[in-house]
Amino acid sequence: MKILVTGAAGFIGYHVSTRLLQLGHDVIGLDNLNDYYDPALKKARLAELVSAAFTDVRADIADQAAMTRVFSEERPDAVLNLAAETHVDRSLDGPRAFVDTNIVGTFVLLETARQFITALPPAERERFRFLHVSTDEVYGTLASTGQFSEETPYAPNSPYAASKASADHLARAYFHSYGVPVLITNCSNNYGPYQFPEKLIPLMITNAIDGKDLPVYGDGLNVRDWLYVEDCCRAIDAVLHSGRSGEVYNIGSRAEKTNLEIVTTLLDLLNRPHSLIKFVTDRLGHDRRYATDPDKIETELGWHPQETFESGIQKTVRWYQDNAIWIARARSGEYLQYYERMYGET
């Protein structure tokens, strides 16, 4: 199977591409390398994907001409859309990029796919799949009980979440209006190796390794459901190959943790004092709790996470301990300026 993976140099995109190559698929890895901090980090991920089965394409999903060319030349059997601006804090600082990539880019990709499959022979058109990868943040926030299901109404509370919700609605519309065989996944919070240290877990690990303060928003009691990235990739692969077109599948691990629990666990694993915790002004519109019900994907597709939070977090900590050079590069340049603006010198 020849699969176009957009955002292939991103965190989940890299891990998904790795899995697909291991399973014997041909992968067209598309990325514009327009990283907010350092495109060299994305290039480092791409370098590990190099093989005869991997085609490296540098393009922007919002570029209609480029997307038409990619579909025409590469003729994919399926699309995995993972290209996105993803960080909530950055969406609060500059929402325009999130609209351009997450909404406009998804539209261009869907429209290109629609035109592409129209000209396919019936058998190839029947096989074609378009999986749009989204987030549980589109559902908004939960009280102390309950879980997000596939029927939960959308109520996004950040520009990032709103842009992903808009893209989800476009994807659904292209299935119902044009018959594009779209599937949608809404994943809980991913973590694991190669994640950029703007996100909670790698930020806290890298700060703790360096003996720096660990900035925790508000009271630290915001709850998220944590999913090891390789389990997420297994779920995406299951939906791509076995999911029903037009359906939404929530991906979660039932591993709810407060941010404060995450931070104290990491400090304990790294033998650092809890006194490094520094409470900072809360994020604007900070959702209090996410909890994603994976019953549908478990029941219909037989997917279950292989990692517990305990095993996944230990693997993650070990990877960051063993990759000091990557961490140093990730924390230099524009990221360092961004970090100091957000949290102050530590």
Question: Which are the catalytic amino acids?
Answer: 136-137, 160
Cβ atoms 19, 239 nearer than 8 A? no
Tokens of 2: 């020849």
Q: Distance between CA 9 and CA 41 in Å, rounded?
A: 9
202: which residues sit within 8 A by CB, 6+ positions away? 191, 195, 196, 316, 320
Cβ atoms 84, 97 nearer than 8 A? no
Q: Are strands 26-31 and 2-6 parallel, antiparallel or unpaired?
A: parallel
Paired with 337 in beta bridges are: none
Q: How far is CA 230 from the centre of its chain?
A: 12
Tokens of 224: 């998220």
